[in-house]
Structures are given as C-alpha cells and as structure tokens.
Amino acid sequence: MTVTNAQNQTAQHEILMRGWLESYKPGKNPDAGGLIRVRGDNTIREAIVPKRVTGVEDIPTQSIVEVYGYAGEGDEPAIATDIEVLNRAEALPVDLRNIELSNDRYRHLHLRTPKLRAALMFRHFVQKYAREFLESRGYFHVHTPILTEASCVCSGDVFTFPYYNKKIATLIQSPWMYADSLVGSLEKVYALNPSFRREREPTTTHLVEIWQLQVDGAWETNETAMTLEEEFIRYMANMLRSNHADLYSMAGLSMAHLNDFEKSYPRITYDESVKRIRKLGFEMEYGDDFDDDALHALGKEFGSPFFVTTYPKRLKNFWFPQLEENPELTPSNDLFSHTGQGEIIGGGERVNSADQLASNLEYYGHDLDEFDWFLETRKYGCVPHAGFSVGFDRLTAMLMGVDHINKATVYPRLPQGGLRP
C-alpha cells in the first residue's frame, strides 16, 4: 500500500498519520466510530476509527502509532482503516494534563504537553529574533568559556572544583568579562552562554543555571546602550506579536501584554526611583537594593518595562567607571519588567583605564592577581565601550507573560533543587 503523509492529504487520498497517541474516545452510539487524536509534525490530527478497526481502546496514550486510512470527502473527517503500534507505552505514571510545574520528577514527559512545547518554541524564536536584531546591528556571535580561574562574582556564590595540576576551576557567572575582552578584536560582540550562580533560596525569578545573553560594543555609551536595549526588547515583542499568535494560544496565554512593549520605556535615576518608591508607601533608604514588591509596584505605575539609571558605585560592580561630575555614581542602567519577572537587563559603560579598574577591583574586594589578564585588556589599548547582559530565561518569561521562570525553561536547575532529569 502506498500512503501519503497527512500534511499532503487530499480527498480520496490514502493518508498516514503518525506520532504520539494523544487520546482515543469511543463513539457515544455503540455503532458509531470512535475518534483518535495523534500528535505529529507539531500538530494534532484526528480521524474517525470505524467499529471494524478494533483494539484501539487498549493502546496506552503516548504510544507511537501509524494510522492508515483515507481523507474524508469535502469537510468530512479522515477515516482510519488500520492502526499499527510502533512503540507501545506503559501506563503513564502521572496525568500529563494536570501535572504541576513544580514537579520536576517527570519534566521529560511534561515537556510533551502543549504549554511546555510552546515554551520550547518560544525560546527558539526569542533566540532567533535576538540574533537577527543584533546581527543586523553588526554584532558578531562569540563563544566565551565556562571554566575559568576567577569569575566576576555578579550575584550569588560560585561553584568550584579541582582541575588539572591542583588548579581550581570556577564555573563562570557571566560571559561578560570574556565578551568584553573581545571588543578589542571585533568591536561589536554578543555571547549566549550558560552561566552559573549558587543562589541560596528558590524564587520565581532565579535559576542556578541560566542562559545569559551578553552584548558589548565599541564606542557605545550608557545612553546609546539603553536605546539599543529598548529597541532590542521592542523588536522581539513585535516579532512575537506579528508571527506567533498560535504559540500564545497553544500555551493558553494572552497576548495583551505585548502592547506594553510598544511604549517608550521610562528612564529614571536610582535617586528618583528611591523617591518614587517611598511615595508608593514602601520603606527604602538611599543606597538600599530594591525590594521586589516595590519594583513591581513601580512597574505597574509605568505600565511598561522601565530603566533605572545612574546607580551608586557601592551597589554596582568593578567594571563600571565613575561619573566625572560625581565619582560616587556610575553610568549604569538596569531594565526591569513591569510584570513581575524582575531585572531583565543590566547594562552600562565599562571602565576603560587600567588604574581605575585596579582601584575598582580593590574597592570590591577582589584579588588583583586573578584578574591580571583582564587588567591587560585595559593596559594595552582599550576602546571606550558599553554593553548589557540579558537574562535569557527571564526575558522569555516576560515576553511569554508567565509568572514563574520555570514556565519558560527546559530543564530548570532551581536553587536547592535536583539535577535529574
């Protein structure tokens, strides 16, 4: 028998539907045929199974089946003539339709459901559009290492382990330092790498293993970096809105929030943000880190992502220069989600002078010896530059419009969580 794949089916054509058996529902009337649903080619197809085709009700869901038959005439559904089981599933240990997202024990099976298949596709497209945008602006993709001697200590703790010859390896916390060093080679670079942070407690916005997108460009300033960040986010939101209504529908998510990304994103200084947060009734001292609830309330006021700029030096890291007019302040920016996914981007200018970098490293308590090579990137000709780091998982969660980072992740590594699957 020659068969045609279901995509190409036309009336009277023989068809083949193949893939995972999603469900079989016997007909209400004992003489009527039942309905079989098969997932394949990332869609679900249905066929009526006439009474003469027997044994379908005994095939466990998720079994791999080939349904032979023919397409219906006109609007009529396809009719199955024969069903083969290629790989028989055991009875499932969980109900995939009702599994909790916090139950990672069955993540490998859970990823077969529409919500998480949609999340996988969202990640694919967010990444694709991120690359498209950055490459259209002249950025080159670079690979930066994971294993290093000195991480940049961005947040959380590091993971270390014995390497060759009694060396200690540290897992990188951010591709930033290496991407920055390549600005000296290609001027405009981006990296998209795993990064690792031994966070203390699980939250809805933290992972131990994150994918971080790092963008650094020669001649950029804190101001031009913010414009680039804003255009970058808006580009992705527009592409998703224009091309992927199907994914939002598959994931059971609204697209309404995508309108918010059209607006101009407000830019307020750290100083101003403290005043606003106090007005909203939250306690905050100048110099404090932000409280999550306060940030969320501020975001609601704006109704769009927003920038906080010009952070005090003591709240930032060694790679920031100081403002000429006030050395206690930095040309820095963070872009926050207004819908609860926290800090999406951290950016700013990079310290350009070797002396200032050395003094910063000491100020923040680092060992200068570990950073000798990085100091040399400043000693031997350092171009003025700026850039930003994007938490890819949070970015995807924000664009999808989901409230927990594990709804936008594949195999999440949550603080205090497991490593299996």
Residue closer to a copy of itself, measured from CB, 232 or 374:
374
- Taking Cα atoms as reference points, which of 305, 140, 151 lies closest to residue 226? 305
Single-letter residue type at 240: L
Q: Give min distance, CB of 129 to a copy of itself, in A.
A: 12
Residue closer to a copy of itself, measured from CB, 3 or 315:
3
Q: Give min distance, CB of 278 to a copy of itself, in A.
A: 37
Q: Give min distance, CB of 89 to a copy of itself, in A.
A: 4
Residue closer to a copy of itself, measured from CB, 193 or 389:
193
Residue closer to a copy of itself, measured from CB, 61 or 269:
61
Q: Identify whether the C-beta of residue 40 lies closer than 8 Å to the C-beta of residue 6.
A: yes
Report the interhelical angle of 372-379 vs 354-363 (nearest 10°).
150
Q: Identify whether the C-beta of residue 318 lies closer than 8 Å to the C-beta of residue 306.
A: no
Q: Give min distance, CB of 326 to a copy of itself, in A.
A: 22
Can you read off the two tokens belonging to residue 329?
């302040």
Listed in sequence order, the DSSP H helices in 35-113 are 107-110
In 10 A of CB 259, how many CB atoms? 12
Whole-angstrom distance, CA of residue 414 vs CA of residue 145: 22
Residue closer to a copy of itself, measured from CB, 334 or 393:
393
Q: Give min distance, CB of 280 to a copy of itself, in A.
A: 36
Single-letter residue type at 309: T
Whole-angstrom distance, CA of residue 142 vs CA of residue 160: 24
In 10 A of CB 239, how many CB atoms? 18
Q: Identify whether the C-beta of residue 123 lies closer than 8 Å to the C-beta of residue 410.
A: yes
Residue closer to a copy of itself, measured from CB, 122 or 232:
122
- Taking Cα atoms as reference points, which of 190, 224, 176, 160 lies closest to residue 377? 176
Residue closer to a copy of itself, measured from CB, 316 or 350:
350
Q: Give min distance, CB of 103 to a copy of itself, in A.
A: 13
Q: Give min distance, CB of 335 to a copy of itself, in A.
A: 22
Q: If you search the block for the tokens 């529902």, which residue do you land on?
A: 25
Can you read off the two tokens belonging to residue 360?
């910063």
